[in-house]
Amino acid sequence: MVNNQECEVFDVHAHTRAHVAYYFAESHDFFSGDTIFAGTCGAIFEGTLSDMLTALKKIRALPGQTKIWCAHEYSLMYLKNAARVEPWNEATKTRVKVMEDLLQQKQPTVPLLLSDEILTNIYLHWDHPHWVQSRNGKTDLEIFQKIAETDG
Ligand SMILES: [Fe+2]
């Protein structure tokens, strides 16, 4: 309990081997550490790509209105990168403009909304039709790896 609100601790090891995130279901707040940012995921220092996919699957399964309190203000840089990796994604282009406006007004871009990430975060697109095309027996991890390679 924190401030009379129940807090669920998520094991999201990948960035580091003991990385955790904190989820407050009542207020829809998710403190994600360095696991997810606007348009991207955290660097994988101590885990594997498979660990990161497992962590992101837990996050994507949360309600769309979940507010993601990520640990850095990286939004514009990585959304521009997401627009490069997914040039077909109109939602990403729109969101780049939203972020530019916020920053121009000296406003924070965090918290992020999970529903926005689902549309524009390349690392949440392991089952997106664009990346899957015909699956041909490919696993989520193989598709996730392809996204990571395209990201470079
Ligand atoms: Fe960090």
pLDDT in tens, 104-117: 999 999 999 999 99
* Residue 65 per-residue DSSP state: T
- Report how far ligand 1's centroid is from the alpha carbon of 15 (Å): 9
Report the separation in Å between the CA atom of 20 and the middle of ligand 1, taken as the mean of its atom positions. 13
The predicted pLDDT at position 101 comes to: 98
What pLDDT is stored for residue 141 in this prediction? 98
Residue 2: predicted pLDDT: 83
Name 63's bridge partners. none
Q: Please give the distance, rounded to the nearest whole angstrom, from the Cα atom of residue 78 to the centre of ligand 1.
A: 15
CA 43 to centroid of ligand 1, rounded, Å:
9
Distance from the alpha carbon of residue 107 to the mean position of ligand 1, in angstroms: 20
Taking residues 65-74, report their average pLDDT: 97
Ligand 1 centroid distance, CA of 129 (Å): 31
The crossing angle, in degrees rounded to 10, of helices 75-85 and 90-104 is 160
pTM above threshold 0.85: yes
| C-alpha 25 to ligand 1 mean position (Å) | 24
Report whether pLDDT(128) > 90: yes
SS (H, E, C) 7-48: CEEEECCCCCCCCEEEEECCCCEEEEECCEECCEECCCCCCC
Centre of ligand 1 to C-alpha 70, Å, is 9
Residue 76 has pLDDT above 90, yes or no: yes
Enumerate the domain spans of the chain: 8-151
| Confidence band of 34 (pLDDT split at 50, 70, 90) | very high
Helix count and strand count (H, E) for the chain: 6, 7
What's residue 3's pLDDT?
A: 84
Q: How far is the CA of 67 from the centre of ligand 1 (A)?
A: 18
Residue 108: cis peptide before it, omega within 30 degrees of 0: no
Percent of the chain beyond pLDDT 70? 100
Structure tokens at 130: 């664009």
CA distance 90 to 86: 9
For domain 8-151, the question of CATH label 3.60.15.10 is answered with yes
* pLDDT at residue 21 greater than cutoff 90: yes
Distance between Cα 132 and ligand 1 center (Å) = 31
When pLDDT is averaged across residues 17-27 and rounded to a whole number, the result is: 97
State in Å: Cα 34 to ligand 1 middle: 5
